[in-house]
A = this chain, B = another copy of it.
Amino acid sequence: MNDVHGRQGPETRKRILDAAEALFAENGLDATSMRMITGRAGVNLAAVNYHFGGKDGLIQEVFRRRLTELNRRRLAALEALQAEAGGAALRPSRIVKAFFGTALEMAADMDGGGARFLQLMGRTYTGPNEFVRNFLAEEYAECVDRFLTELYRALPDVPREEILWRFHFMMGATSYAIGGADALQLFTGEFDDRDPARLEPRLMSFLLGGLRGPLPEVVSPAARRSVA
- Per the CB 8 Å criterion, the residue count for chain A at the interface is 68
Tell me the smallest distance from the CB of A55 to a CB of chain B, in Å: 13
A216's closest neighbor in chain B, by CB? B201
Residue A198 CB within 8 A of the other chain: yes
Tell me the smallest distance from the CB of A18 to a CB of chain B, in Å: 18
Number of copies: 2
Cβ contacts under 8 Å, A180 to chain B? 125-126, 168, 171-172
Residue A40 CB within 8 A of the other chain: no
Residue A214 CB within 8 A of the other chain: yes
| A128-B123 contact given A205-B216, A209-B214, A215-B205, CB 8 Å threshold | yes
Cβ contacts under 8 Å, A43 to chain B? none
- Considering the complex, which residues of chain A in the window 168-183 have a beta carbon less than 8 Å from any beta carbon of chain B? 168-177, 179-180, 182-183
A122's closest neighbor in chain B, by CB? B126
Cβ contacts under 8 Å, A162 to chain B? 202
Residue A219 CB within 8 A of the other chain: yes
